[in-house]
Amino acid sequence: MVKGKVIHLPVKGGDEEQLLDLQLVLVTWKDIIATSGWEDGADVSCPLLSTIGWVYSEDEDEMKVGNTVELTNAIGDVGQPYGITCLPKGCIVSIEYL
């Protein structure tokens, strides 16, 4: 699992309130771009982007970040991130734990 800052969120688990430990990150990454026209190669470059969200998972190949997290069990499991962005490690420029 990723090492970094942990945010404690109060959530409803049945009748009791509990704390959910999640990591919020800002990932800066370069995207891959392709053209289908007559663009000169000098005019084409990879855009630099950022994604903010809750860490779902990370391994040596990729990092998965969710933009929304379940705080009750109305949709799925408490603490389950949704809206997942899967980023290949080779595209990641930096990871900042918020």
Query: Could you tell me if residue 1 is inside a domain?
Result: no
Beta pairing class for 48-58 and 24-30:
antiparallel
Q: Is residue 60 a part of any domain in this protein?
A: yes
Confidence of residue 8 (pLDDT cuts 50, 70, 90): low
**Residue 63: which of 40, 34, 35, 93 has the closest Cα?**
93
For residue 29, give the nearest of 1, 57, 53, 3 by alpha carbon.
53
pTM comes to 0.78
Domain membership flag for residue 77 = yes
Residue 56 domain flag: yes
Q: Higher confidence at residue 1 or residue 55?
A: 55
Q: Is residue 49 part of a domain?
A: yes
Sheet holding 62-69, edge to edge: 81-88, 62-69, 48-58, 24-30, 92-97
**Is it the case that residue 11 has pLDDT exceeding 80?**
no
pLDDT per position as a tens digit, 34-93: 999 999 999 999 999 999 999 999 999 999 999 998 877 788 787 889 999 999 999 999
Work out how many domains the chain is built from and give that number: 1
The residue range of the domain holding 71 is: 7-97
Structure confidence at residue 86 (pLDDT): 98
